[in-house]
A = this chain, B = another copy of it.
């Protein structure tokens, strides 16, 4: 099978991660790299043997089949729209936008695309969560009743990231909204968010929070707890637990190695992966593989612009709940 020629826009951290996976896959060829920051583009292009061009040039190249959008979050939507208009297939790093109304306005244009538009949520491609979903769907725990998600980051982001992050809910909880919806398989009808600035007062002075606990209710009455923290101090804490009518299922943290040490203080297992890039390395490879399947016509995107809008509306609802202090009612189909 011929490799798909793709180009990358956005040569930062996420762009580099995806581009390296592209290069390591026999199903793709990385044709070109674009970035407003030309130095960044050149460095990555040189490393990976890809040409450096402007985004306009890329889009005009008929040999390029698809575009990977990994530019700054604020430019995701514009870059996706440009790619769609140029007739390219799109792989877009989440989130598609930080503004739900803007995204809603753009949705018809994106959905009119003749080529697939894939918005990648890495959790769905994690082999551990994938196995959890398979067992849930196979009825291993009967009827799902409630679920708990722990999503705690190892360390605070740089303070200058906060203002452009969209806030904790849009930057971080958005993953959990997607995971929860994917597992529950129902729309959510109510959301309550408790949040606080417990780790670093600077976060608070920037109008954001660093800690949150959320309760969501689904149309079918299932209840979901989400726990978020910006800093564990001990690595990336990533757990999901499902409680059903016939038992429980969980994805526990993975460990860097299977080495443990026994000493006077007890038995110490290896630390968790420290970064998302390490914890979800396989998920990033898998989502790219899924995109190859999509381009090959063997699959449709597991999540697209509408899913992006859905989680964005949930993040907005979480903000409203936080501000009002009470739960927010969600109208299925309208978020």
Residues of A near any B CB (own CB < 8 A): 23-24, 26, 127-128, 131-132, 135, 140-141, 145-146, 148, 152, 192, 194, 196, 198-199, 211, 213, 215, 217, 221-223, 225, 227, 229, 232-235, 237, 243, 245-271, 325-327
Query: Does the CB pair B261–A251 fall under 8 Å?
Result: no
Task: With A131-B259, A265-B271, A268-B267 as known contacts, state yes or no: A199 contacts B246, CB within 8 Å.
Answer: no
Choose from B148, B198, B248, B260 the contact partner of A250 (Cβ within 8 Å): B260
Task: With A213-B223, A225-B225 as known contacts, state yes or no: A261 contacts B196, CB within 8 Å.
Answer: no
What are 30 A-B pairs at a CB distance below 8 A?
A128-B258, A131-B256, A131-B257, A131-B259, A135-B259, A140-B261, A145-B211, A148-B148, A152-B243, A192-B215, A194-B217, A194-B223, A198-B221, A211-B223, A215-B215, A225-B227, A229-B243, A232-B247, A232-B248, A233-B245, A234-B247, A237-B262, A247-B262, A247-B264, A248-B262, A252-B259, A260-B266, A264-B271, A266-B271, A326-B327
Distance of A11 Cα from B265 Cα, bound (Å):
33
Query: Does the CB pair B194–A215 fall under 8 Å?
Result: yes
Query: Does the CB pair B217–A259 fall under 8 Å?
Result: no
Most chain B beta-carbon neighbours within 10 Å: one of A211, A217, A243 = A243
Query: Does the CB pair B198–A145 fall under 8 Å?
Result: yes
List chain B residues, Cβ under 8 A from A258. Answer: 128, 251-254
Query: Does the CB pair A223–B196 fall under 8 Å?
Result: yes
List chain B residues, Cβ under 8 A from A235. Answer: 264
Complex: chain B residue closest to A232, CB-CB: B248
